[in-house]
Amino acid sequence: MCPSDGRSREVAVTSNSVSVVDYGLANLYSVLRAFKEIGVDATVVSDPQAVLQSERLVIPGVGSFEACMNELRRRGLDDAVLGFIQTGRPVLGICVGMQILFGESLEFGVWHGLDHLPGQVRSIRELHQDHESLRVPHIGWSELLNPADQISAPHSVVEPAIAAAETLYFVHSFVAVPENRQHVVAECEYEGRRLCAAVCDKNVIGVQFHPERSGKAGLRLLERFLLC
């Protein structure tokens, strides 16, 4: 678990401290470069056994939910990721890498995810009252906010960004809708609507935004993940 107060502390990192899952679709270069900027040579893992032997696991994501899950299953990485989660070691899901943690997605069909978190991934347009005029995708910089209902406290990875009113980079047309509001640890606002921006369940944290494309604020968030 991460330190609850969000304060910085020294952490020893090695070349295998962070493993980034390669399932053939994600933006590996951007994620690896971001970790390099904070002094970590992250390791790319594409073999199920290598996933299970990791210290910390990052699941990046670009593209469709369906394509990501199909590739994970084809390579035997879906069970490996779930097995890694069960070890209690830290996991960070980014964008679609966060969405696939949920039970299913309604992205142009019905697609089954890893089902670690109960809930659906649904269209932003569908969730908005004035959906016909809503601009999608949500592209750009948005501030992280405390969950509106305050059921759960912000996770230590995102809490400092909320306190400092930092903005992170988003690009997505679909958004997670967790069944359990306690899993929501940060939100953002888009066109007057609150959207889930980060979720947490014990050792697993998922973010809808791209820390690897969010400048210094994103790098600070990745540094805090190393404290988990």
CA dist., res. 28 & res. 22, Å (int)? 7
| pLDDT, mean of residues 203-217 | 96
The predicted pLDDT at position 164 comes to: 94
Q: Among 51-55, 90-94, 187-191, which stretch is predicted with the lowest mean pLDDT? A: 187-191
Catalytic residue among 95, 196, 200, 228: 95
C-alpha separations of 78 from 2, 52, 56, 119 in Å: 25, 11, 16, 18
Clarify whether 112 is annotated catalytic: no
Q: Among 27-41, 71-85, 90-104, 129-143, which stretch is predicted with the lowest mean pLDDT? A: 129-143
Length of the chain: 228
pLDDT at 128 over 70: no
Catalytic residue among 116, 172, 183, 210: 210
pLDDT at 29 over 50: yes
Catalytic residue among 104, 107, 166, 212: 212
The predicted pLDDT at position 16 comes to: 47
Question: Based on the number of CB atoms within 10 Å of its own CB, is 191 exposed (0-12), middle (13-18) or buried (19 or more)?
Answer: middle
CA dist., res. 41 & res. 61, Å (int)? 19
The predicted pLDDT at position 54 comes to: 96
pTM of the predicted structure, to 2 decimals: 0.89
Clarify whether 189 is annotated catalytic: no
Residue type, 102: F
pLDDT at 6 over 90: no
| pLDDT, mean of residues 106-134 | 83
pLDDT band at 7; cut points 50, 70, 90:
very low
pLDDT at 144 over 90: yes
Calculate helix-pair angle for 28-37, 215-225, nearest 10 degrees: 80
CB distance 65 to 176 below 8 Å: no
Clarify whether 2 is annotated catalytic: no
- 152-204: pLDDT as tens digits: 667 899 999 999 999 999 998 899 999 999 999 999 998 888 899 999 999 99
CA torsion, ordered 216, 197, 113, 65, to nearest 10 deg: -70
CA dist., res. 139 & res. 173, Å (int)? 9
